[in-house]
A and B are shown apart, each in its own frame.
Chain A
């Protein structure tokens, strides 16, 4: 649990770090907060449009395909994607833990696994997008009908591709950041610096990407 700050200490008169975190990490937190508002705005606009529509497509029908197996497996593929992303979050936090112990080999091992997880997620997303595209879904085109069988507007596909695309772009940036971190670790930059705080900041970003997926998953695949 967080500990309360003793009253007597002069925290804000300089020479101290009132939040007991370094500048870069604090700014990463504030960046992530602003990014949360960006994603929040996307998802809320999606919700507003959905609430203003008389009908909406059924996720269990739209997302029911799996590579090789074919269709008829509602939500199975997206569960795989979710599992991959949660798993890569675990390997990331293990990398951060190894960084705290100044264990260079451990950091490298877990960073490699995290990068693999990120690439696996992106591949899954590429497959899903391709599959939906071949079913006729794209920005401005929606082949799926509503729950009740009536004709759906293109709002569903527009929001789906925009929001999962924006999230996928975050995953992509995260993978690039993680690769940079891996190279820096390999070159011993953090050993010379004496700490692995950069891994922790990259980790915050990576977990945020996982966090956003949790909400995207609920909004698009479950509701």
Chain B
């Protein structure tokens, strides 16, 4: 738990001490979340291709949780003054707009191209004949 510390502002460097217990607790949280992600990614998600969107939302949620713990505990941001937290965190909200706008744009480009360029759409569904994808049959150093 966060140490309760006073508002007293010393001239120097009066950050509350890191507690080793909190560090290891954060470590276990990060490790468990990563393991959950991996188990889903390796064993569960490949069997449910139709639910990809749901799994991706889950990954985003888990990733943001990890990011929160790294920034809040390891980088100690959560123990800083609120004004400092705000100057760091608020600009990052721009990412909501960036991600939304750009992914929307990419998606729109794809649908427009598929609509107006049937040849492209046709080509992108042609299967590659030879090797199983990702298999060991790749020729070393094979280019193009």
- State the A residues within 8 Å of B (CB): 1-6, 16-22, 26, 29-30, 33, 36-37, 40-41, 44-45, 47-55, 57-62, 64, 70-71, 74-76, 79, 82-83, 86-87, 89-90, 92-94, 96-97, 100-101, 133-136, 138, 141, 143-146, 148-151, 195, 197, 203-204, 207-208, 210-211, 214-215, 217-218, 221-223
Contacts and interface: CB of A to CB of B under 8 A. Distances in A.
Contacts of A52: 105-107, 109-110, 113
B59 A218 contact: yes
B83 A19 contact: yes
A86 B31 contact: yes
10 contacts: A33-B91, A51-B110, A61-B133, A74-B41, A100-B17, A148-B127, A150-B124, A195-B13, A214-B66, A223-B59
Contacts of B107: 51-52
B124 A55 contact: yes
Given A64-B134, A79-B34, A214-B67, A47 B140 contact: no
A186 B7 CA distance: 34
Interface residues of B, number: 79
Nearest to B14: A20
Contacts, number: 212
B51 interface: no
Q: Report whether over half of chain A's contact residues are helix, strand or loop; otherwise say mixed.
A: helix
B103 to A, nearest CB: 5
